[in-house]
Structures are given as C-alpha cells and as structure tokens.
Amino acid sequence: MKAKNVLLTVFLISIFLTVYSSNDLEEVFRAHVRVLASDSLQGRGLGTEGTERARDYIAREFAQAGLRAMPGIEGGYLQSFSFRQRLAWIPGTNIVGYVEGSDPVLKNEYIVLGAHYDHLGFEKDNGEKTIYPGADDNASGVAAIIELGRYFAARPGLLKRSLIIVAFDAEESGLIGSRWFVDNSPVPVENIKLMFSFDMVGMYGANNGVHLRGMGSMENGVETAMHKAAKTGIALRNTGSNIERRTDTAPFGDAGIPAVHVFTGTKSPYHKPEDQYHLLDYVGMVKIHEFMTTFIPELASREQIEPAPALIAHAQVQAGKRLPRLLFGFNLNTGSGFHRYDDEFFRANSLFATSAGFYLQVPVSQLLTLQQEALFDVNGSKIEGGNFRRYSATLPLNLQLGTPRASGNPARVFVFAGPYFRYSFGGTEAGESIDFDLFEQQEWGYSYGLTLEVFMFSIGFTHRRAVTGLFNDSDINVFDSNNYFTLGYRF
Ligand SMILES: [Zn+2]
C-alpha cells in the first residue's frame, strides 16, 4: 500500500470513528456511505483497486460489528470467484458474515441480508475522469446490512434462526456474485428460508416510503410486515409477490427462496455521477433500520417460513431449465454382426453380436448431448469353415440431437451419430485363435441410431460400421458391421 493510501485510509477511518463515537445512527449511516462513495474508491468498478478498498472496509466493519466468518468459506469473510466478461476473466469477491441463531434446531435455517457493494466504476474521456460514486446504489444498502449485522450480533438471544450477512460483488454485471453465492452456498440452499436485498435504500422521504418488493413470495409475509409496520410507523409500499429480477433477489427466487427487494425507488440520480453521499435521506435509513430490527426477529423466530405457491411453481420451471452437468448409465446392445466384402458382390452371413458397458452424457444444450461410451464388445461374422469372433473394447463418441431435455417431461427422443474406436485383444477364426499379424487390432468406424428415453430407461436401435479394414493388408477390403437393439439404464 502506498503511503498516500495509508494516509487516506487513516483519514477515512478517523472520520468514521469520530462520527461513530457520537453514537448517532444517522451519522453512522452517513459515515459509511461517505467512505464507500468517496472518490478514493473510484466508483467500486469491477476488479479495480477501488473495489478492493471497499472490500477491506466492509470486511473490517463486519469484524468490528461482531459478525462471525462462515465455517463453509475458506477465505474467512471472503468468498472469491471469477467470471468471464467478453474475453477476460474477472475476479470477484463476496463478503460474508453470520450471526448464529439461539435455537438448537432453527439455527440451522438461515435468513440472508444482502447488498451489492460494486458499482459502475469510472470513465475516462479525453483524459477527463468521471467517477460514478454510487451512494444510493448501493453504498446505502451496504451501510444498512453492516448496521443490522452489528445490531443482531450484539443481541445473541434475539434470533432463533441464523442470519447470513453478504455484501455481493458483480451485481451490476448481471447478478454474478449473488448467483455464485446461491450456486456455491456455504450452507445447504434448502436451509436458506428467506432473503432480503437492500439495494438503494437512501431515498425513503422522496419515495414516500419503502418498497418490500417480493414480500408476497413468502407465505403470510405481507401480513407480518404490515403488522410490524403499523407498530413502528413506517410506510410500506409495493409488497407484491413478484420477485425483482434486476437485483440480487433473482437467483434466490429461482432457487425457490422467498426474496425481498428493500428499495426506496429510483429517486437518486440513478447510474449518474451525481449519485453522491450528501443527497441521501439518512433519517429515512434509520427508519428502515428500526423497522427491520423488529421485523427480522419476528421472522427469525416464527415456527415456519414457507414460500408462496406461485414461487414454488416458478422455482420448478427454473429447475426444469437447468441442464444436468453429467449423467451416467449402462447400455446393453444385442444384435448381429457381419463382414462387408467391398470388392465382392456378397456380404457374409451374420452372427450374434453383443456389447455392454457404461456411458457418460454431457448435456450441451436443451437439444444437444455428447455421449461417450466404453463397451466390452463381442463381434464377428460367419466365414468359410466356421465363425470369425473378436473380443474388443469399443469406445463410441456420439452427438445426440433430440427433443428438449429439461422441459419437465420425462421422455426424450433423439437421433445420434459419431465416430468409434475399437481395440481387439482376442478372438477365434474357425476355431483357431486370431493371428493379429494378419488382422488389425485397431479399428475406426462410425455409429448412428435412434433412441427413446423414458425416465431412467432407454430403448433404441444402433448401427455401427467400420471404415478401416479387418486385415493388416490394405489391399483386402473387408469391414465389420453391426446392428443392435439397445437397452439402457441411467443411474
Ligand atoms: Zn443496485
């Protein structure tokens, strides 16, 4: 750290400590926002030094607030990830802390209080630097979760469920930090019962109240909120059941978790350089804080938190759109094999053939799947004076094109085609053991076919056709072919 930066940090901390010691919550909020939206943090743009400083500040505040680090996260408070933007890999970091609940059973359920701390950074035009400070969006939300964390960490018996406090990175780039958190949750995702995204909470007065968008995604959530609002005298607006898609609530809602956008509207100079700390309504932030300090204990201690039926339906649709990563199964092919004599007018009589083994499927899209098989294979043909038999390992790689995989229907029909490699390690030729000085051990060919999959079972037809010859001597054009009836089972 450069000496200038050390001085700056000391200066910022001293501003903060001076106002914090006054113990006036309004001034505390003002101090947080002033630091996070200061020019030295340069608009908290993706992967910048300003964002690193914001991260240091938030982590330090989490520690001072008495938040614990999540046991499931290696980096203490820091959950690091990286994501691709155009051609570059960008590092991102969520800052995660928690307050353990007091109930021996319910403490394994969680309420997430989240706020993104990234913003748009700065622009350079002809050497002129324009910083987007993002005071309302979203230094205000970060200030809100720090102080809620501090409040609850200091009152250990108040909550039966546990709280997870997260400052999300990379929200402005498409909710990447929050989606990463849900996909790599330090606790089982089904144990996260409710989520609040504090995103732009600094304009309570101008907005004539605060929105709890998505409150209706929780069973009885609106009633509980209204009841507490009447007691604390806060004005609640928009408590609908639709989960907001433009803030960190969306990934939680997609996972079936009731998720609420705490929001005072786009009253600030939204996504403009003028979104500065002195414009915010800190009295309103205190009002929201006071409401939350009575509302959250009620939620964290009630018997059950359930998603509303519409949210359950939404989550099922989302789950249907998700592609499975890898699928394993078993295939059994039974049918016949024969040899093609390409220089002659005949083909040999066919002989029973079978192969069996495992497959690995990699879904590429709803319609396309790549399948690699590893089969033990018995193949051959009738020849003069008896049978020709080979024992081989066959490795077909096929691309499947079919009906959508994950539309919620249990059946899928697909055609497939692709190359195979076969290695023969033994066999007999009219009763004698095969002489691999005469015959090729390696063979290349291709397969194609049609399959119907229903639940875990599949049934279909497979044709395999060699393109390299049976004999070492390339002047003898004899090729293996197989037709199979294929049965499959997916684990
Ligand atoms: Zn925002």
Summarize pLDDT for 223-241 with one digit per residue, the tens.
999 999 999 999 999 999 9
Q: Are 263 and 210 in contact (CB under 8 A)?
A: yes
∠114-116-118 over CA atoms, to 5°? 160
Gap from CA of 173 to ligand 1 centroid (Å):
10
For residue 89, report the distance from its CA to the centre of ligand 1, in Å. 22
Split at pLDDT 50, 70, 90, the class of 9 is low
CA of 56 to the centre of ligand 1 (A): 20
- Cα(171) to ligand 1 centroid in Å equals 7
The residue behind tokens 């009295």 is 283
Least confident of 85-89, 145-149, 272-276, 390-394: 85-89
Domain definitions of the chain by residue range: 3-321, 327-490
Whether the CA torsion 469, 473, 477, 482 is positive or negative: it is negative
CB atoms within 10 A of CB 153: 20
Distance in Å from the first CA to the final CA of the chain? 54
Residue 446 CA to ligand 1 center (angstroms) comes to: 53
CA of 201 to the centre of ligand 1 (A): 10
Name the most confidently modeled range: 163-172, 311-320, 427-436: 163-172
Q: How far is the CA of 121 from the centre of ligand 1 (A)?
A: 13
Q: What is the mean pLDDT of residues 231-253?
A: 94
Question: What is the predicted pLDDT for the residue at 409?
Answer: 67
Ligand 1 mean position, distance from CA 174 (Å): 11
Q: What is the average pLDDT value for the chain, to the nearest integer? A: 91
Residue 406: band (very low, low, confident or very high) from pLDDT cuts 50, 70, 90: low
pLDDT of res. 19? 47
Q: Is the pTM of this model over 0.85?
A: no
User: What is the per-residue pLDDT for 22?
Assistant: 38
Nearest of 272, 310, 339, 331 to residue 449 by alpha carbon? 331
Separation of CA 321 and ligand 1 centre (Å): 26
CA 263 / ligand 1 centre spacing (Å)? 10
Confidence (pLDDT) at 1: 47
28 alpha carbon – ligand 1 mean position (Å): 21
CA of 202 to the centre of ligand 1 (A): 12
Q: Give the pLDDT confidence of 105-141 residue by residue, as tens digits.
A: 999 999 999 999 999 998 888 888 899 999 999 999 9
The rounded Å distance from CA 9 to ligand 1 centre is 25
CA distance 288 to 261: 13
pLDDT of residue 104: 96
Q: What span, in angstroms and rounded, lies between the C-alpha atoms of 118 and 81? A: 14
**Predicted local distance difference test score (pLDDT) of residue 18:** 47
Distance 126 CA to ligand 1 centre (A): 28
Does 98 have pLDDT greater than 70? yes
CA–centroid distance, residue 199 to ligand 1 (Å): 5
Higher pLDDT, 443 or 455: 443
Long-range contacts of 61-65 (CB under 8 A, 24+ apart): 61/32, 61/146, 62/95, 62/97, 62/146, 62/149, 62/165, 64/150, 65/97, 65/146, 65/147, 65/149, 65/150, 65/153
**Nearest partner of 306 among 198, 216, 189, judged by Cα:** 216
Residue among 463, 453, 445 at smallest CA distance from 487: 453
pLDDT of residue 345: 72
Rounded distance between C-alpha atoms, residue 357 and residue 201, angstroms: 59
Which protein residues have a CB closer than 5 Å to ligand 1 (ion)? 137-138, 199
Q: Give the model's pLDDT for residue 15.
A: 54
Contact 405, 366 (CB under 8 A): yes
146 alpha carbon – ligand 1 mean position (Å) = 16
State the pLDDT at residue 342.
78
The CA 141 to ligand 1 mean position distance, Å, reads: 9
The percentage of the chain sitting over the pLDDT mark of 90, rounded to a whole number, equals 74
The CATH architecture annotation of domain 3-321 reads: 3-Layer(aba) Sandwich (3.40)
Say how many Å lie between the CA of residue 459 and the centre of ligand 1: 51
Q: How far is the CA of 116 from the centre of ligand 1 (A)?
A: 7
- Range in 328-332, 391-395, 404-408 the model is least confident about: 404-408
Ligand 1 centroid–CA 51 distance in Å is: 15
62 CA to centre of ligand 1 in angstroms = 20
* Cis before 483 (ω within 30): no
Q: How far is the CA of 118 from the centre of ligand 1 (A)?
A: 8
Binned at pLDDT 50, 70 and 90, residue 5 comes out as: low
Q: Ligand 1 centroid to 310 CA: how many Å?
A: 25
Minimum mean pLDDT among 301-305, 340-344, 360-364: which range? 340-344
The Å distance, Cα 115 to ligand 1 centre, comes to 8
CA of 68 to the centre of ligand 1 (A): 26
* pLDDT > 80? residue 12: no
Closest listed residue to residue 392, CA positions, set 441, 464, 323, 461 = 441
Label residues 53-82 b or e (16+ Cβ within 10 Å = b): bbbebbbebbeebebbbbeebeeebbbebe
pLDDT digits over 62-73, tens only? 999 999 998 888
- CATH (residue range 327-490): 2.40.160.20
